Amino acid sequence: MSKSIDDKCSTHQRNPEPGHHCKTCARIRLELRIVRKTVSALIAAGWYVTVDNGEEEEIRNSRSVRDVMAKVFLTDEDFIYVSKKPTPEGKPYDHFVRFIYGNGGWDVMNDYSVALEKVLKPVSEYAETQDLYAA
């Protein structure tokens, strides 16, 4: 993960804004909160986490929220693959969560395995209450 929201916000990459008050910055902050809540819930439930950004696996079989968060948001989407035991290279993972960045923020968690529904229910409920564009 880059060091600043300015690095991710197309408005502020060349023109940093103290406080990050634009809607893009707010969406990015929300997306990062939801991803962090998701990763935290999965690790707390005993899952090993692998991040695949569609180009490569950025981290494999991690149990560290900090390490996982350092590897997300590098492309437009990430797959978080989880297993109850460390998964050797070339073996399938048990379940997944798919994140797509750049839409409404609250909808960053695009899809996930039904088996993770109980663990992810609090995150989904939180996300549903977040609407950056509500009047």
pLDDT at res. 26: 85
pLDDT at res. 10: 62
The C-alpha R_g of the chain, in whole angstroms, comes to 15
- Break the chain into its structural domains and give their ranges: 5-128
37's CB contacts (< 8 A; 6+ apart) are 122, 123, 126
- pTM, full prediction: 0.86
In the chain, pLDDT over 70 holds for what percent of residues? Answer: 81
Q: Is residue 18 pLDDT above 90, yes or no? A: no
pLDDT in tens, 52-77: 998 899 999 999 999 999 999 999 99
How are strands ordered across the β-sheet holding 109-112?
57-62, 48-52, 77-83, 95-100, 109-112
